[in-house]
Structure 1
């Protein structure tokens, strides 16, 4: 029986794409002299910053400086991030149906907590897990692991994260991930968790095909979760 839902933050609950792409664009312009439209960086909404800047060609010794500049710039504007329409009602409905709600985001824990406060979502989430400063490079698998362990400690799940991890581990039937990018799919799958990819954020068609299911609206997501309560993952 599915008892808990893990939610990603950026592109799933928060419409943070424009601010993230704006901040990456500014970082690359100021530090690398690369002046491109903000939308050029849309694919970097979701991945850990370490992998994003590496993919952008930043030399490994310089990545930390780019991340520091990005975070300093992002801290000045992230309060402008809006929540997607329907998300508050979505979270309330999911909890009313008996699911525990956990946030699993690659954002730094302190930043994630501030963003959630600004979005007015504190009272709508049971567990909030972000990256720790010394574990940012570990990405989504690490925060999913911590979320599973905290859900167990809080009594929402009978089992925390398993010692055996990887893409070929047995699938779990007690929890599901909701995200918008392949990083959510892969990070959750490391722990045997299936992912529902939402398409209202920054999803990509080729990534949607890799998800267990997709949802185009919050209402459709509620329908999928309701069916899970009735039938499990058998449909």
Structure 2
């Protein structure tokens, strides 16, 4: 039996449309130029403040950008995603095999819970560890620590599964093993450079990996 922590965006769901449209909405409202789609996709994974901050260079405007992002996300953005093919079957199979499952995401926790509640396999996760609204807890090392505390497990007994370097680096921080998923937004080169324990290219590989 393994304890498996899953990232959300880029691992369980393809949320590129919702996230990039909400970023664009916030920047437009602030009168800022909107980067090209390829650049916007790089915003998927890090915390919002880590992405808006360097661009806006002002803490008050950064907070306003986060508010505007959430304004659109609450209304529409949270629905703008698709489950990756094969993920539902992988999650159901891992649960049937007796593994414990949780979600660890830099998305704010209420939004993450809302999305999971509407996924057909969302109830298979014991907890959702997401960022606090004020951003006090928003980085993967902190989010992983919160998940291990809630489940009362040692990090050494867990695996972190995600598509970006932040997922792998968070696992490395806790000396956890990790699985990089190449179908998301980071890609195999990023995952390898971050030091992923394993890299897989399809959800169907998850269940056999933990058999």
Structure 2 equivalent of residue 66 of structure 1:
65
Q: How far off its partner does 1:135 sit?
A: 4.2
Structure 2 equivalent of residue 123 of structure 1:
123
Cα distance in structure 1, aligned partners of 2:98 and 2:176: 19
Identify unmatched segments of 5+ residues in structure 1: 162-171, 227-235
Q: How far off its partner does 1:205 sit?
A: 3.7
CA shift digits 1:188-212 (9 cap, x unpaired): 2222212211011112343221211
Change (3 A) 1:39 1:23: farther
Secondary structure (helix, strand or coil) at the match of 2:30 reads helix
Cα distance in structure 1, aligned partners of 2:17 and 2:38: 8
Q: How far off its partner does 1:178 sit?
A: 0.2
Cα distance in structure 2, aligned partners of 1:137 and 1:128: 13
- Equivalent position to 2:206, from 214, 217, 221: 221
Most deviating of 34-43 and 206-215:
34-43
Secondary structure (helix, strand or coil) at the match of 2:91 reads helix
Q: How far off its partner does 1:181 sit?
A: 0.4
Structure 1 equivalent of residue 43 of structure 2:
44
Contact 1:129-1:143 within 8 A present in 2 as well: yes
Most deviating of 33-42 and 84-93:
33-42
Secondary structure (helix, strand or coil) at the match of 2:130 reads strand
Q: CA RMSD in A?
A: 1.8
Secondary structure (helix, strand or coil) at the match of 2:50 reads helix
Cα distance in structure 2, aligned partners of 1:65 and 1:208: 32
Identify unmatched segments of 5+ residues in structure 2: none
Secondary structure (helix, strand or coil) at the match of 2:13 reads coil
Q: How far off its partner does 1:136 sit?
A: 4.3
User: Which of these two proteins has the greater Rg computed from alpha carbons?
Assistant: 1
CA shift digits 1:21-70 (9 cap, x unpaired): 12112222221430333332111101000101123344233211110001
- TM-score scaled to structure 2, two decimals? 0.90
Structure 2 equivalent of residue 139 of structure 1:
139
Matches within 5 A, 1:32-111: 32-77=31-76, 78-111=78-111
Cα distance in structure 2, aligned partners of 1:115 and 1:125: 12
Q: How far off its partner does 1:182 sit?
A: 0.8
Secondary structure (helix, strand or coil) at the match of 1:219 reads helix
CA shift digits 1:99-120 (9 cap, x unpaired): 1001111112111110111223
Contact 2:162-2:179 within 8 A present in 1 as well: yes
Secondary structure (helix, strand or coil) at the match of 1:85 reads coil
Structure 2 equivalent of residue 11 of structure 1:
10
- TM-score scaled to structure 1, two decimals? 0.81
CA shift digits 1:124-165 (9 cap, x unpaired): 21222112224445422221111111121xxxx3x3x6xxxx
